[in-house]
Amino acid sequence: MAFDILMPALSPTMTEGKLLRWLKKEGDTISAGQVIAEIETDKATMEVEAVDEGILGKIFVPEGTEGVAVNTPIAVLIEEGEAVPDQAATPKATTPQKPAEAAPAAPKAAAAPSSQKAAPVPAAQSAGTPTGRIIASPLAKRIAKEASIDLTDLKGSGPNGRIVKRDVEAAKTRGPAKPVTATATTTVPAEAEIVPMSSMRKVIARRLTEAKTTIPHFYVSVDVQLDALLSLRHQLNTASPAEGDDAFKLSVNDMLIKAAAITLRRVPGLNVSYAPDAVVHYPSVDISIAVSIPDGLITPIIRNVDKKSLREISNEMKDLVARARVGKLKPEEFQGGSFSISNLGMYGISAFSAIINPPQAGILAVAAGEKRPVVKGDSLAIGTVMTATISVDHRVIDGALAAQWMSVFRSVVESPISLVV
């Protein structure tokens, strides 16, 4: 009996995706577990496995189709000798497809402790989706598509901010949007190139605007001497085997990630997030690392960082970054986290402050290590100094607590023996 292959939900909050590529064609014999298609979300590209065997009778959604809603029939599987239906099969075919591992050889991210599930859900998650996806009713989407209305410009009036029919109808009444302008008074020159935003860039724009306008940021900066840490890094890398499973090459960033994790354990008041009438205290230290990718930014997560060795952190970081840049991260590898780090030191930046990654309450901005004059005893000397700046959510973290955290972070980096014991 024919049954549908459905658009899978690759995360609990996914509502739609792009059918990037079919790996099987009509008439092919399919067995359970075979990868049949690739689905693109705004953060990653994932493979989809068949959950049953049969013949791929008909493809309903062609390659390259965007905005395919979850559980929409994308193809139909038939038995040998069975007639190919012209449309989706019976309601029996509601078994969702299983997303395949994005990279089978890569280690899986550690699951968050079960106790974390009992924490109150932060407002940024309950009112929307962690990945910034647009929630809209199917009717609203259809009307918007017919009227060429961009749903990212609308604010939903339905439950939990859901965009419904009346929101789209109101947008139609308002008429077309005003021409794009470079400033409030200057129109973009006719010869300027207008490049439409990708889905990822739209999400980034919306989330950062919400973060900067709704979260009261508070900043604390400190200069940190890196000489002892650099010396330890050199010793450890020199001691590493040249090759094999035990080989490693530590970066300064790897060591700063571990230093931040140790600091979060010593000053747990920053391992929190804001929720209405509550402060969410996370039981594990899960650090999101800002990684630049071709069309934006993604924050893969190293979980339980304080319990991992520098070698484990380094190897996991390299794997996450490599897969992030080719869109192969699984949703659980970039959704969540209790704290973030953004490092622009490789660009020679002397200092900067970062925007908080909601629902988290803190992000550490790491600049370049520079040769500067330092006082040692009663004498001047030359040392390698880095300026670090933390941005915190002032609703749940006071300035004194942020200053305490930065003081402890500096002491951990300047006396780095705790990174290896």
Does residue 210 have a pLDDT over 50?
Answer: yes
Residues near 339 by Cβ (< 8 Å), separated by ≥ 6?
A: 260, 264, 270, 271, 285, 286, 287, 288, 360, 362, 363, 364
Confidence of residue 338 (pLDDT cuts 50, 70, 90): very high
Does residue 202 have a pLDDT over 80?
Answer: yes
pLDDT of residue 31: 86
Q: Looking at residue 7, what DSSP letter applies? A: P
Does residue 13 have a pLDDT over 70?
Answer: no
SS3 state at 42: coil
Q: State the architecture of 3-99 in CATH terms.
A: Beta Barrel (2.40)
pLDDT of residue 152: 79
Confidence of residue 1 (pLDDT cuts 50, 70, 90): low
CA distance 305 to 284: 8
CA dihedral 218→223→227→229, nearest 10 degrees, is -10
> What's the pLDDT tens digit per position in 94-108?
334 444 443 333 433
CATH number of 123-183: 4.10.320.10
Confidence of residue 173 (pLDDT cuts 50, 70, 90): confident
Domain 217-419 has CATH 3.30.559.10: yes
- Side-chain half-sphere CA neighbours of 187 within 13 A: 5
Output the CA–CA distances (angstroms, integers) from residue 344 to 257, 276, 347, 352, 365, in the order listed.
Answer: 14, 33, 6, 8, 8
CA distance 382 to 376: 9
> What's the pLDDT tens digit per position in 272-304?
999 988 999 999 999 999 999 887 889 999 999
CA distance 240 to 246: 7
- Give phi and psi for 171, each to the nearest 5: -65, -35
Does residue 168 have a pLDDT over 50?
Answer: yes
pTM confidence score:
0.64
Domain ranges of the chain: 3-99, 123-183, 217-419
pLDDT of residue 133: 58
Which amino acid makes up residue 279? V
394 in active site: yes
Higher confidence at residue 134 or residue 324?
A: 324
Write the DSSP assignment of 155-222 as a string of letters: ---SGGG-B-HHHHHHHHHH-SPPPPBSSSS-BPPTTS---PPPHHHHHHHHHHHHHHHHS-EEEEEE
For tokens 């959604």, name the residue.
Answer: 61
What does the mean pLDDT of the chain come to? 83
Active site residue: 217, 234, 281, 394, which one?
394
Higher confidence at residue 233 or residue 171?
A: 233
> What's the pLDDT tens digit per position in 174-185?
765 454 444 444
